[in-house]
Structure 1
Amino acid sequence: MKNIRAISIAAIAALSLISFGSYAGQSVSARGSTLDSAEAHIAAKAKAAGAESYRITSARVDNGVYMTAELDK
């Protein structure tokens, strides 16, 4: 009985790692003079990486724009 429980726990752990690993995206950042130019740089990086889409995760405006995004493949 203990052996079956240990195998079940190991299988659940392995499956959870697979699902989290497939979800993890690549993070990219870009700088620009405006929000539009920074997003254009993000879009170009996403296209170069072969990403299907991207999500902007942060944008900071301070003497220019600094933006980060997660790429989805």
Structure 2
Amino acid sequence: MTRQFTLVIEREGDGYVALCPEVDVASQGDTIDEARANLKEAMELFFETASPEELSERVHREVYVGQLEVAVA
């Protein structure tokens, strides 16, 4: 079975950090593609090893991604 998850990638220093907010799993890589592949591997390992209790605590069914306007000095 497969399921779609949200992927957020941001530049950090000389590399990229990839995050899946639904399960609070993150990884990194030197390129966007590497960060994405490393996150996929990390998530697959998480789902293989997580207990049912951990899954019920960590898997968020609703994640909203948007923009927020904030005044900055």
TM-score (norm 2): 0.33
Q: Which has the larger radius of gyration?
A: 1
Q: Give the helix-richer structure, 1 or 2.
A: 1
TM-score (norm 1): 0.33
Q: Give the strand-richer structure, 1 or 2.
A: 1
Higher relative contact order (CA 8 A, sep 6+): 1
